[in-house]
Structure formats: structure tokens, C-alpha cells
Amino acid sequence: MNYLNTPRLLSLDFFRGLTVAAMILVNNPGSWGNIYAPLEHAEWHGCTPTDLVFPFFLFIVGVSIAYAMGSKKPDHTAHNKTILKALKRGLTLFGLGLFLAFFPRNFSDFDFVASLKTIRIPGVLQRIGVVFFLSSIVFLKFSERNIFRIIIVILISYWALMTFVPVPGIGYANLEKETNLGAWLDRSVLTEAHLWKAARTWDPEGMLSTLPAIATCLFGVLVGIYLKRKDIEPATKIAWLFSVGCLATIFGLIWDLEFPINKSLWTSSYVLYTGGLATIVLALSYWIIDINHYNRFTKPFVIYGVNAITVFFVSGLMPRLVNMIKIKQADGEEIGALTAFYKTFFVPYFSPINASLAYAIAFILFFYVILWVMYKKNIIIKV
């Protein structure tokens, strides 16, 4: 989120930019068949560094809500207007996600009607939009104590739903990919035609798992409220944030024994584990950058952070556009221009896995140059 007219923590901008850069890194390897293990998602249960990226971003969204809307919370007459703005932003994000899902990879065989019938409805931007809107309402309408209670109710309710409610057509509760309650709900409401194309029978950004994703954002909201307090010394804030982060991480690992940490299901243990780690990272960044003023290294990430949604969206769109340009190879095969660029400038000079990584890094640097120019010209695209 870009809330440039409100007081902001440099550490939060740094954390946001770091997270978005990590998103782009893991989403754009040169070859999906050659990826270092930490840059891949866990096969199902478990958590890799890549599985931290999305919840970290939602956590940051929550912190940003507390900073951006904090002045509006006491003024109840401003709530409706603020909620309307949040709705518009949420719908915009949802629409951008649908646009990426709908945008063809090849116009030559594009069928508009057929694409509408099979467009994937859930997605990363769609989830961000829904979570942002609902979390904004909760922040405006409820006290800190009640927000904490809402998080607890969400986590316990989701655990009960996923582990005790029998799945229609299956007969028992389970956490398997195709037969869990969330997968059944997505197929029943959205139908298989509108789910993740790599699976069709389930979706990693499905409807039911968006509920605990809201808890991740509200976790960030509470951290943001605490960081904004002016009656607490910075050293005390850091001590409390580290303590809360460590406790949440430990509780997440303990709950993992019964309700496994799982990104695709966004399990309650995953919320606590990733929320705790995000709190620790933010506390460490706050101590280094905002308190001790070691900030020379932050500029590249701040540049990424101020146009976070823009660069995420464009980084998903650009490869499709460029690969529509076909280049004929020596063997007569036609491949996309970006694929040809990868095969020409990376594959011959690195091992397969390092070529894939080098391409992803080059992708980040390419967008950094564009974002740097935008930053220098004070071009901030708000969503």
C-alpha cells in the first residue's frame, strides 16, 4: 500500500521493498525446472523462505493500515468515507488480479468468451484486496483488545472447521490437497474452471483460507498500533516486539504438531509462525534503521517499496507481453523474446540452476532501474 501523505517508518518501507523484491525473485526464475530449494514453495506441509513472502506482505499491509488510518479511527464521522476508499482500493486490487489472470499469453489463439469461462478468480492480488478491505473495517470499528480477540476467534474457528467438519462427498475432515474443506468449497462455489490452472481441483488462494489470511493482516495492524504509540520508549517497543514475535513463532511451531504449517491452506499455525517472524524482522529493522540510523543500505529497498503494487503487477504482465514477440531459433523453432534472451545471455554461461537464478536477479535489477527513475522524478502510482 502506498500511503505517502502519512508519517511512515523507514524500516517499514525497507521491509516492504525487501518483501516485494523477494516476490519478484521467486516468481521469475529463468527456468521453473531449475530453482534452488529455498526459492521454491514447500510441496505441501512445511515452510521454506519463499513461503514467508506473501504473509510478510499481508502483515506489512496491516501495519500500514494502522499508520494510514490511525487519524481516522477516533473520528466516527469519517469512517464511512474511509471505508468507501478502502473498498475502492480493494476492488482495484481485485480487478488488477483478474486482469493478470485474464491477460492472454498469446493473442493469436485468444478466445475472449472461452477465457471468461475459465478465468481464475482467486489470486494473490485478489486476496490482498479482500484482506485489505476487511482488515480496514476491523481496524476502524474495533478496539485493540477486540482486534486481538477477533484474531484468536479466526484462528480457532478455522482450525475447528478444517479438522472437525466432515467434507461433503468425502465423509471426514482432512488436510489433503483435493479433499479438504476449503478445496470442496472452492469447487462448489467457483467451480473447477475458475481455480488455479496448475491443479483445478484446489486453489492456494482459495475462499476459506482467506479467513486466516485476514488474521495475518490484523496481526500487522496490532503491531502497527503499538509502534505508533508515543508514550512508550523505543527500547521498550523493541523488547516487546521481539518477545511477542518469539512467542508467536514458538506457539506456531507447537500448533504445527497438530495443525501443520501450510501456506496453501494458510493454517492457523502458519499465521502465528509467519506473523511472529515478521514481527521479529520488523523489530530488528526498526532498531537498526529508525533507532540507530544505520540506513545507507535501505535506499534500493525503499525505492522498491514506494511502488510495491505497481512493480508486482507490471512484473507479472511484462513477461507475457515480451514473449508475444517470437524469435526463430537456428533449429527453426519460434520462442518468445524473453525466453530467447534467457537462452542467449544466461544458459551458455552458467550451470542450469545458476542461470535461472542469475536471470531472476537480472529481472530485479531491470525493474530497479525503472523504479529508481520513477523515485527520482517523484512518480508514485497509488492503487
- Give the Å distances, CA to CA, from 127 to 2, 238, 272: 17, 30, 19
How are the residues of the chain apportioned to helix, strand and coil, as percentages rounded to the nearest 5? 65, 0, 30
**Cβ atoms within 10 A of the Cβ of 40, count?**
15
DSSP secondary structure string, 9-54? -HHHHHHHHHHHHHHHHHH--S-TTS--GGGS--SSSB--GGGGHH
- pTM equals 0.94
Residue 21 main-chain phi, psi, to 5 deg:
-60, -40
Give residue 8's pLDDT: 62
Pairwise CA distance, residues 171 & 158, whole Å: 18
Pairwise CA distance, residues 148 & 357, whole Å: 40
Give residue 140's pLDDT: 97
CB-based contacts of 218: which residues, under 8 Å, 6+ apart? 62, 135, 138, 139, 147, 150, 151, 154
Pairwise CA distance, residues 337 & 345, whole Å: 12
- Give the Å distances, CA to CA, from 309 to 107, 305, 371: 25, 9, 12
Contact by Cβ (8 Å): 130, 92: no
Give residue 57's pLDDT: 98
Pairwise CA distance, residues 100 & 123, whole Å: 9
Pairwise CA distance, residues 11 & 22, whole Å: 16
Residue 199 main-chain phi, psi, to 5 deg:
-125, -50
Pairwise CA distance, residues 19 & 21, whole Å: 5
Side-chain-side CA neighbours of residue 345 (13 Å): 13
Residues of the chain short of pLDDT 50, as ranges, are 1-6
As beta bridge partners, residue 159 has: none
Contact by Cβ (8 Å): 227, 150: no
The length of the chain is: 383
376: left (phi over 0), alpha (psi -120 to 50) or beta: alpha
Burial class (CB within 10 angstroms; exposed 0-12, middle 13-18, buried 19+) of 177: middle
pLDDT in tens, 281-302: 999 999 999 999 998 899 999 9
Residue 168 main-chain phi, psi, to 5 deg:
-55, 135
Give residue 328's pLDDT: 83
What is the amino acid identity at position 152?
I
In this structure, what C-alpha cell is assigned to residue 210? 482467506
Pairwise CA distance, residues 64 & 274, whole Å: 17
Give residue 108's pLDDT: 63
Give residue 9's pLDDT: 86
The alpha-helical segments, DSSP class H, found in 257-351 are 268-285, 299-305, 308-322, 337-345
160: left (phi over 0), alpha (psi -120 to 50) or beta: alpha
Query: How big is the CA angle at 267 (ends 310 and 130), to the nearest 5 degrees?
Result: 35
